Amino acid sequence: MISEGQATQFGELGYFVAEGGFAPALLQAMSEEMDRVYREHLEKARAEGEAAVAAVRNRRSFSQFHLLSPVAAQFAREPIFLEACRRFVGPDVDLYYNQAATKPPERGKIFSWHQDSGYVYTEPLEYITCWTAITDSNLDNGCIWIIPGSPKWGLLEHLPEPETAERYGGKTAQFADESGAIPVEMRAGQVAIFSSLMLHKSGANTSAASIRRGYVPQYHVPHLIAKHTGQGWGDQVPVLRGGKRVD
């Protein structure tokens, strides 16, 4: 599924876009699961008050999605992800982190430039992110942007930024030149596979009716350590041992 040309591009530029090979029914099931989890969280928030409701509506992302959806727990072991793990991580691999990220229409917020490794420094440092388009992801509805080659810059300083009307809160990478940035528009079922050192951001969904749904599993070696705690970190769900799928 991953060509030698794509593997070469990953080594040179830190990313490539692949066809996921997902059945349309599976993408539909993932869409429905993302909507279900959102509805359930919104219903719970209504019992807690308007502030909780606003928080759910304004940021529709759910981490550890494998614990919220049995469909996602199996989806994270789809062949395209396991092949990427074998090629770019090794024969023994864990699901390190995963989230469902829905960007509703007419939500004008961006997510600022960052490296995934800039959130938690791990030892070893680098891992892979598989940004998967569950529905079409394009400029109008808030696709991701990357800076090809930026993994070779190493880990940059990240500073926290508060949430505003224009920007989701998070950590922002400190660097001077984004002139090499490109949008990564994808059809439903495509996967952008990139290094955790890749600088990336997402735009605002300025469309009138297009919901951007993405599922983002990340894969790392087993027994990694978070430097700020000295302890194991992440989802720690085995997906490969000795190159073989683990269920």
Per-block mean pLDDT, blocks of 10 residues, the chain (247 long): 96 98 98 95 90 79 97 98 98 98 85 97 98 98 97 97 88 96 98 98 94 97 96 97 97
Q: Is 66 inside any structural domain?
A: yes
Contacts of 42 (CB under 8 A, 6+ apart): 53, 56, 57
What torsion, rounded to 10 degrees, do the Cα atoms 233, 239, 244, 247 define?
130
DSSP-derived letter for residue 181 is: -
Q: Is 7 inside any structural domain?
A: no
DSSP-derived letter for residue 92 is: S
Q: Give residue 56's pLDDT.
A: 80
86-97: string of b/e by CB count within 10 Å (b at 16+)?
A: eebbeebbbbbb
Q: Give residue 54's pLDDT.
A: 81
Number of domains in the chain: 1
Q: Is 22 inside any structural domain?
A: yes
Domain range for 53: 12-242
Q: Give residue 13's pLDDT.
A: 98
CATH code of the domain in which 31 resides: 2.60.120.620
Q: Is 186 inside any structural domain?
A: yes
Phi-psi region of 166 (alpha: psi -120 to 50; beta: other; left: phi over 0): alpha
Which phi and psi angles does 148 have, rounded to 5°?
-55, 140
Q: Give residue 107's pLDDT.
A: 73
For residue 40, what are the CA distances in angstroms to 44, 50, 53? 6, 16, 11
Q: Give residue 52's pLDDT.
A: 86
Q: Is 23 inside any structural domain?
A: yes
Q: Is 5 inside any structural domain?
A: no
Contact criterion met (CB below 8 Å) for 129 and 198 = yes
Model's pTM, two decimal places?
A: 0.96
Q: Give residue 1's pLDDT.
A: 84
| Distance separating the N- and C-terminal Cα atoms of the chain | 21
Q: Is 4 inside any structural domain?
A: no
Q: Is 6 inside any structural domain?
A: no
Place of tokens 């490794």: 117
